[in-house]
Amino acid sequence: MIASNQTFIIAAYAVTWVVILAYLVRLVRKGGRARAEYERAVQHQREERQS
């Protein structure tokens, strides 16, 4: 009984890490893209002001 529980224990920790790491990667990637878009938009705005 205790041995078969091992599968579920491992599954629990695996699911936890999959969710945490997947969300982490998603945030970092989205963050990079958002930051790039922002820099571009601010740069564009600065150029418009000067012209």
Partner 1 sequence: MPASTPSNDPGPAPPPRTSLWLGLVSVSALVAAQTHAILTSPPDADMGHLQKIMYVHVPAAWMTFISFFVVLVFSVRYLWRRRENDDLLAASAAEVGATFNGLTLMLGMIWGRPAWGVWWAWDARLTSTLVLFLIFVGYLALRAFVDDTDQRARWSAAVGVIGAINVPIVYMSVTWWRTLHQPPSSPATLDAAYTLGLRLNAIALLLVLIYFIRKRYEIARLERATEHAAEAVAMGGS
Q: How far apart are CA 34 and CA 16, in angstroms?
A: 27
- The least distance separating partner 1 from the CB of residue 21, rounded to whole angstroms, comes to 8
- State how far Cα 25 lies from the chain centre: 3
Q: How many residues bind partner 1 (CB under 8 A)?
A: 30
Q: Please give the residues from 20 up to 49 whose contact with partner 1 meets the rule CB under 8 A.
A: 20, 23-24, 27-28, 30-31, 34-35, 37-38, 41-42, 44-45, 48-49
Provide the sign of the torsion angle of the four alpha carbons 8, 13, 17, 19, taken in this order.
Answer: positive
Q: Which residues bind partner 1 (CB under 8 A)?
A: 1-2, 4-6, 8-9, 11-13, 15-16, 19-20, 23-24, 27-28, 30-31, 34-35, 37-38, 41-42, 44-45, 48-49
